[in-house]
Amino acid sequence: MKLYFTPGACSVAPHIVLEELGLPFELVQVDLKEKKTETGEDYLAINSKGYVPALQLDNGDLLTEGLVISQYIADLKPAENLVPSSGEARYQLQSLMVFISTEIHKPMGSMFNPKQSADARASTETLLNKRLTWIADTLGNNDYLFNNQFSIADAYLFTVLNWAGFVEFDLSPWPTLQAFSARIAERPATQAALKAEGLI
Distance of CA 45 to the CA centre of its chain: 24
**Domain count of the chain?**
2
* Boundaries of domain holding 173: 83-188
CATH of residue 73's domain is 3.40.30.10
Residue segments in the chain with a per-residue pLDDT below the cut of 70: none
Query: pLDDT at position 166, please?
Result: 95
Residue 121 sits in the same domain as residue 105: yes
Single pTM value for the model = 0.97
Residue 123 sits in the same domain as residue 166: yes
Q: Which residues pair with 30 in a beta bridge?
A: 37
Residue 119 sits in the same domain as residue 174: yes
Per-residue model confidence as pLDDT tens digits over 101-126? 999 999 999 999 999 999 999 999 99
Helix residue spans in 36-150 (DSSP H)? 43-46, 66-75, 87-99, 106-110, 118-139
